[in-house]
């Protein structure tokens, strides 16, 4: 079983490092370019693969530009973290009011806790396991980082130690019976194409 995680391409808000949870921000020009650059790599995804995407347009657009949009099912559990009162704000600005603030360590007023996002990630993992074959997930930085942590059996907050660039690809799998991170935050897709096509 292989799980491919694809973070959406860049948006105006991600470029500004603003917390973009449920705001439905489209890809910008660079985001569209980088999403399109995924297509040669993802063309190796076989027809039997399960393709899931967050319903937010930046993920849906990335799946479409990468060539898998017509095959993608919308999965609400792949929505980005609900940042509540911190939506649209930058960590640096929030820290002027709350020194040391982090989405990983402080309460998210009016939004989801990291544990609640972890529950959603667990549901996605259960669906992946039930499928049993190759799965490609198009979603967002924080939810995918949490999903990576939960895949390995770590607490959801351990996603803080995993970073993701826009339009990056990560691969989850197994070493014997142990769930592992095979590749993380790859932006040179040709290095993975042969492996995915095995």
| Structure tokens belonging to residue 163 | 């970073």
Q: Which residues of the chain have pLDDT under 70?
A: 188-198
Q: What does the DSSP assignment read for 92-131? A: HHHHHHSTT--TTTS--TTS--HHHHHHHHHHHHHHHHHH
| Residue 191 confidence (pLDDT) | 47
Tokens 């932006």 locate to 187
| Residue 87 confidence (pLDDT) | 98
Q: Which residues are catalytic?
A: 8, 80
The residue count for the chain: 198
d(CA 187, CA 189): 6
Which domains are delineated in the chain? 3-196 (3.40.50.1240)
- Long-range contacts: 108-112, Cβ < 8 Å, 24+? 108/81, 108/82, 108/83, 108/84, 109/84, 109/85, 110/84, 110/85, 111/21, 111/81, 111/82, 111/83, 111/84, 111/85, 111/86, 111/87, 112/81, 112/82, 112/84
Strands ordered across the beta sheet of 73-74: 73-74, 50-53, 135-139, 3-7, 169-175, 178-186
| Residue 187 confidence (pLDDT) | 83
160-179: b or e for each residue (b if 16 or more CB lie within 10 Å)? bebebebbbbbbbbeeeeeb
């Amino acid at each position: 079983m292989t799980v491919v995680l694809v973070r959406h391409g860049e948006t105006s808000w991600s470029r500004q490092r603003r917390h973009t949870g449920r705001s439905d921000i489209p890809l910008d020009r660079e985001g569209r370019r980088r999403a399109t650059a995924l297509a040669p790599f993802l063309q190796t995804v076989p027809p039997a693969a399960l393709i899931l995407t967050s319903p937010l347009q930046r993920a849906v657009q990335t799946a479409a530009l990468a060539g898998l949009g017509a095959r993608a099912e919308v999965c609400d559990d792949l929505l980005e973290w609900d940042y509540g009162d911190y939506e649209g704000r930058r960590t640096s600005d929030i820290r002027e009011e709350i020194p040391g603030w982090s989405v990983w360590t402080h309460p998210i007023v009016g939004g989801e806790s990291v544990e609640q996002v972890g529950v959603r990630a667990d549901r996605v993992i259960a669906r992946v396991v039930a499928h049993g074959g190759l799965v490609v997930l198009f979603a967002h930085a924080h939810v995918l980082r949490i999903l990576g942590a939960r895949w390995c059996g770590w607490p959801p907050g351990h996603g803080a130690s995993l970073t993701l660039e826009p339009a990056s690809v990560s691969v989850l799998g197994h070493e014997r019976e142990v769930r592992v991170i095979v590749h993380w935050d790859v932006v040179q897709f040709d290095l993975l194409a042969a492996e995915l096509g095995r």
